[in-house]
Amino acid sequence: MRLSPFLPLAPFLIPAAAAAEQERAAERERMVLAAVNLAVTSGALGGRAVRPAVLDAMRRVPRHLFVPDAQRVAAYREQPLPIGHGATISAPAIVALMTELLDVRPEHRVLEVGTGSGYQAAILAVLAGEVLSIEIVEPLARSAAERLEALGYSNVAVRLGDGYLGWPEQAPFDRIIVTAAAPDVPQTLVAQLAPGGRMVIPVGRGEDERLMLITKDARGRVSRRAILPVRFVPLVRGTR
């Protein structure tokens, strides 16, 4: 049997991989601390802290695997990053803030509109019982579904479709999150929100864009609260 000339290097691969993962874990920790600080100091949470469960989810999800190779060096920086097809992955502080406002619990079924690379869906998968995510751009939907499956997020389902329509055959949802800006709150999504549910969505355009928290009480009455100014890519309607 002929031995590979590279075989003697094998014992060094495991320590190298472990060191790389330790560095990534340290980067995630710095990202979490910076993101949480920004989320709290923004005033959007009324001075309260981000729940430990949200912090744990952000520590556990390898953000660098949800961005293109060329962007991995910046994966843990406090900034949005392009992921292709005119879409972006939100800055960590926005992810932390939206996830905290959503107040996801293990028993919840969550609808996400705008899968993108699948990063927010992965965060939600750590927190919720089930996540259903809709993406209108076919290459993004396909790659996100493959990525989430490969990384073991078995409680996430990704569907290609128009997010404005929601996922009516799976409704109602305990929580809904929209990761692109709509000109107004889609009533189809409000209708699919369960009593006692919450929805977080950016609404408006340009200088008038605001992150909104929509709640529905046990009697089905809907309330809206503007959280803070934001800037998201627009929510696309129809098929391409």
User: Which of the residues are catalytic?
Assistant: 90
Neighbours of 228 (CB within 10 A): 12
Q: List 134's β-bridge partners, or say none.
A: 113, 159
Instruction: Determine phi and psi for 202, rounding to 5 degrees.
Output: -80, 135
| Angle (deg, nearest 10), helices 119-127 and 52-60 | 130
Using an 8 Å Cβ cutoff, are 146 and 160 in contact? no
Determine the Cα–Cα distance for residues 191 and 59; give it in Å rounded to an integer.
33
Q: How does DSSP classify residue 153?
A: -
Closest Cα partner for 77 from 43, 48, 34, 120?
34
The residues, ordered by sequence, that sit 6+ positions from 75 with a Cβ below 8 Å of its Cβ are 27, 63, 64, 66, 67, 81
Determine the Cα–Cα distance for residues 182 and 170; give it in Å rounded to an integer.
22
